[in-house]
Amino acid sequence: MSNDLISEMERDAVYKTIYGRRDIRSLFKPDPIPSEVLARILLAAHHAGSVGYMQPWNFIVVEHEGLRQKVKESFERERGEAAMLFSEEKRMKYLSFKLEGILEAPVNLIVTSDSTRFGPQVIGRHSMPETHLYSTCCAIQNLWLAARAENIGVGWVSIVKREDIRAIFGVPPHITFVAYLCLGYVTHFPDQPDLERVGWGKRLPLEEFVYFDTWQGQPSESRKDLPQILRNDGAEA
């Protein structure tokens, strides 16, 4: 099936999923995720491309209550520390946000990356050794979109201490901890990102961040229409 052309209807389903994906923190329902569904989501991640076909990822499915409680404690400590870096006004706002669903989401998922998989000789990794991490992040986005296509929400918790995750779950030193994710069915998928809804940030106008041929370069004659299309479509999207 993989070499089939994608129809317009199928293409639109992909865009609907990409535009409808959210970082979910507070809308989790306790309904369990069946293993069949979890397997499809993990296999979608596994079908990301990877530099030199090294497939550097591992996944830890975390459902144990006590372990999640420890992660929640790490989050609380880190959030308190990070809050001190904001001005007082911003700090109160920051502390009012719900930023994770560690205990409410029925499944937590740790994603790691193994830079040593297949030894030192991996095609394409000589010039940019960090690319194994990039591959693992591509796998995470596959997972996130597959979950959305299963109507399952995903929240990425980046307010945790790497050392805590390593200690709680016994992750060995040669493995990079990349992401702590919360997965579960949700009451609904909001129209906007949370931080936009609460007025913390807004979507940037993409046309200001696309250059041509060089950094800050302007479009040639044949691409003069692109910034305007980005502006219009971005406003609609």
Residues between 34 and 93 with contacts to a copy of itself, criterion CB under 8 A: 35-36, 38-40, 42-44, 46-49, 51-55, 57-64, 67, 78, 81-82, 85-86, 90
CA-CA distance, 117 to 55, in Å (whole number)?
Answer: 8
Residues 130-169 as x/- pattern, contact with a copy of itself by CB under 8 A: -x-xx--xx-xxx-xxx-xxxx----x-xxxxx------x
Q: CB of 116: closest distance to a copy of itself in angstroms? A: 14
| Contacts to a copy of itself from residues 204-223, by CB under 8 A | 204, 206, 209-217, 219-220, 222-223
| Contacts to a copy of itself from residues 166-205, by CB under 8 A | 169-172, 175, 178-179, 188-191, 193, 195-196, 200-201, 203-204
Q: Which residues contact 213 (CB under 8 A, 6 or more apart)?
A: 220
Q: Which residues contact 57 (CB under 8 A, 6 or more apart)?
A: 45, 46, 111, 112, 113, 114, 135, 136, 139
Q: Residues 150, 49, 173, 35: what is their CA dihedral angle, to the nearest 10 degrees?
A: 30
- One residue of 71, 99, 102, 182 binding a copy of itself per CB under 8 A: 99
CA-CA distance, 150 to 146, in Å (whole number)?
Answer: 6
Residue 31 makes contact with a copy of itself by CB under 8 A? no
